[in-house]
Chain A
Amino acid sequence: MTASVLLASGLALGAGTMGQALAGPDTNILNVGIAAPDAGRLDPHLSATTIDKAVFGWMFNGLVRFKPGTASPATVEADLAESWTSSDDGLEWTFNLREGVQCHLNYGELTSEDVVYSLERAADPNRSSFASDFEVFDKVEALDTYKVKITLKSAVPSLLGLVTNYHGGNIVCKKAAEEMGEDFQKRPVGTGPFMFSEYQPQQYLKLAANPDYFRGKPQLDGINYQYIPSDSARDLAFQSGELDMLYGKQDQTWVERTEKIEGAVVHVMEPAEMSVMHLNTATKPLDDVRVRRAIAMAVNREQFLDFKGRGVTRIAKSVVPQGYLGYDDMTDMMPKYDVEGAKKLLAEAGYPDGVTVKAIHTSLPGMLSTMEVFQAQLAQAGIKLDLEVVEHATFHAQIRKDLSQVVHYSAARFPVADTYLTQFYHSNSIVGTPGGITNFSHCAVADAEIEQARVEQNKEKQLQLWKTAQEKIMSEICSVPIYENLQIWATRDYVDLGYDLIGSLSLGPPVTENTRFTK
């Protein structure tokens, strides 16, 4: 604690005495600082970590893409495919590829062969982490050099979502991937505006501008993506001008401090990560819905907003985050903050002296502070939260073994309700089962609606099904949604991103062919 206070005051001192504005970048290379010790596996079909996703966005294309600077399915536009058509039942999709797209490092023109190879690769659990997303794919065929046909086993809520420049939708170059095999992740080859140049573990990943990029040669010469795990060192490097773009902390004081640095621009962008308390309904006393309701009533969301900062957080209004296709405002169904009511409900459930629930939690400071506020709020209603704090990787392992009665999880997902509902509330995703992902609550009340909505072709009916699913989960109180935390990045004012930054699904601002330094 003392150390962090010292650090904070040290930084404030540094910020306060910072005099002259910076002249501008020394080179035409964008220096980016990310909060991580190292890269993961640099293969877009393997790694799903925040650290790597931003980079994949700069190196790869999808058949379609989110318009740069947005993270909404409504803005999907052409990328490698110029146009596409679909059958009425939504089962057959034909994509017409752009001609003349070149793979990095002289691996030749990108054709339908590469697209077929990539999508099959993304669907193969041995080579991809996203195979389950592509289970509905029946076959992918090359009709001719520039025409690809996808046939589905059943309709999906958003086929275009699956073939965007995100996760398994990233298109790799077949020849390079086959030639390199396991080594592909050491020298990934795509078609994006920037291409792999050099990687030094725990130091940096250097990307060079792709001179043959189909949208035109990038204005920047390259990107130097630097892995800097120390928060203070990263901030100081930004302050000294060594970094042009900086991964920020989702924290109001960080935003306010960074905005004071001359020439710094702070970006608050979508998608938000929703902080949710998942209540394990399979264990006592949480198997009693009255106890779960009492917990929800003991939560004061406004206090959380004051604590986290209103500039970077907003109140969660449903079990699906705002802005997702299918999201419905469930504010009316949220139990109102009422400590006395919570106590009464507990007594009614047979716990007049209160209850004790166990939670295992990560020691990551940002998440832990939220949990501590939660703990203090529950205590007022006579609910004792027994908090066991462990290191982050341990936390992830233990909550997946069903060891924590309350799981605080913070996540952003592909912005279609289906993803969030399936991963967190469908019975197939219950932790500990073979298909287990992140259903920590053992919730299984909306399986039917989630499954029906997935294949429903009538948009209105689909939205209605998702709404019903949210209602059912809310009334069962499988979880208590708390707040949504937006993504924070900072850039120097001489960085012109080339678009308006509202959001980015890769969690990092896109760096495109138009991104440039203004001086």
Chain B
Amino acid sequence: MLRFVARRLFFAVPTLLAVMTMVFVLVRIVPGDPAQTILGDQASQEALQIMRERLGLDRPLLEQYVDFMTGALTGDWGQSMVTGKPVLTEVARVLPYTIDLTVVSLLIGAVIGIPLGAWSALHRNELIDYVTRVGSLLGLSFPAFVSAILLLIAFSIQLRWFPVISGGGRDNLGEWASNLALPAINLGLIMAAYITRVTRSSMLGSLGEDYIRTARAKGVPGRVIVWRHAMRNALIPVVTVVGLYLGILIGNSVLTEIVFNRPGLGKLIVGALGQRDYTLLQGLMVVYTFVIVVVNLLTDLTYGLIDPRVKYQ
């Protein structure tokens, strides 16, 4: 299995290099000028030119590219063009927040979604099934930032359980939980809607299989049939979808982070894009790509845990 992991990571290298090149080119194709962001709108062309030289943007593209690639490979990701802070420090500062949010939302999604999906499948075409299906469809179609505002109005303004500005406290468990609760519920509910639907249809598929009928004929108790025979087989597509969906979750986290004013990769990347902070954008895109690669790898490894027939070579 270690060889499998090593090989997969090795194959990720060309992907990362390609992404780095594309990002380098793309951020520079988009019109906009980091110097203008820094100096404001009263700066003269002369002042802008001096700032561009200071940022190294006047040098030939190839030279900038070689610098960026060699720097990135040797661990020097440069400094944010706008704040002047090292890119790696910036990324490292917000990464834990994004991981917290993603993992906890995923857990909320799985804890709600898997049992609900299974339950719905078992009561196919009954009232509970309809309610679940409509509910999950609503969850899927609701924009994350609207649900975020509704949560804020309910829990922060009306009930005053949580602060509106989540802020960045991670020092003790209470503060951590209070800052994380609403954003994680917001994303978790959307995740739950997804997982419910996939679990339901996958469960329906496996409940119709021959081996289920055989098990029933043998007199295996219903609980065992559902949880051991049907569920275990139904989980493979669920894991695939969750793996794929994690990418979308990170995308949705952008809006959630902005509305709850929570630090995170998403918020950082939107800010960097608006300010045309080339160096920071480059660093962030590489981190994103790497996260997706790792998530895909973890998804593949999870298959083995669920299905003993899966072998890693």
A residues apposed to B, CB below 8 Å: 3, 6-7, 10-11, 13-14, 17-18, 37-41, 46-49, 125-126, 129, 131-132, 182, 185-186, 200-204, 226, 228-230, 232-233, 236-237, 239-240, 242-243, 390-394, 396-398, 400, 411, 413, 423, 429, 431-438
Contacts and interface: CB of A to CB of B under 8 A. Distances in A.
B300 to A, nearest CB: 34
- Say what secondary structure dominates the interface of chain B: helix
A410 to B, nearest CB: 10
B263 interface: yes
Interface in B223-279: 258-261, 263, 267-268, 270-271, 274-276
B146 A7 contact: yes
Given A182-B84, A202-B263, A437 B36 contact: no
A237 B168 contact: no
Contact of A129 (B47, B153, B160, B271): B47
B135 interface: no
Nearest to A401: B31
A450 B87 CA distance: 45
Given A201-B83, A201-B90, A240-B164, A125 B42 contact: no
Nearest to A52: B40
Given A237-B165, A437-B42, A7 B37 contact: no
Contacts of A423: 42
A234 to B, nearest CB: 8
Contact of B84 (A41, A394, A436): A41
A434 B33 contact: no
A394 B30 contact: yes
A41 B82 contact: yes
Contacts of B150: 10
Contact of B43 (A48, A243, A413): A48
6 contacts: A10-B149, A132-B44, A185-B84, A201-B93, A240-B164, A434-B46
Contacts of B156: 236, 240
Interface residues of B, number: 54
B39 A38 contact: no
B88 interface: no
Return the 8 tightest CB-CB contacts between A and B, nearest first.
A48-B40, A393-B32, A37-B271, A237-B164, A436-B45, A14-B153, A394-B31, A129-B39
Given A47-B38, A392-B274, A10 B261 contact: no
Contacts of A7: 145-146, 149
B274 A37 contact: yes
B259 A436 contact: no
A433 B83 contact: no
Contact of B163 (A125, A239, A242, A392): A242
B158 interface: yes
A233 B149 CA distance: 7
B7 interface: no
Contacts of B17: none
B83 A393 contact: no
Given A229-B261, A434-B49, 12 more contacts: A10-B153, A14-B157, A38-B271, A125-B47, A129-B39, A132-B46, A202-B263, A202-B271, A236-B164, A393-B33, A396-B33, A396-B41
A233 B271 contact: no
Nearest to B43: A129
Given A182-B84, A240-B164, A397-B31, A435 B46 contact: yes
Nearest to A423: B42
Contact of B165 (A228, A391, A411): A228
A433 to B, nearest CB: 7
Contacts of B261: 203, 226, 228-230, 233, 237
Q: Give the interface centre of B82, B156, B157 by most chain A CB atoms within 10 Å.
A: B157
B85 interface: yes
B50 interface: yes
A10 B41 contact: no
A435 to B, nearest CB: 5
Contacts of A46: 38-39
A48 B267 contact: no
Contacts of B152: 232-233, 236
Nearest to B46: A434
Contact of A233 (B36, B45, B90, B164): B164
B71 interface: no
B143 interface: yes
B168 A200 contact: yes
A400 B275 CA distance: 17
A452 B61 CA distance: 44
Nearest to A409: B41
Interface string B186-208: 00000000000000000000000
A125 B50 contact: yes
A200 B268 CA distance: 12
Contacts of B41: 48, 396, 411, 438
A239 B156 CA distance: 10
A46 B37 CA distance: 11
Max chain A Cβ within 10 angstroms of own Cβ: one of B85, B165, B167: B165
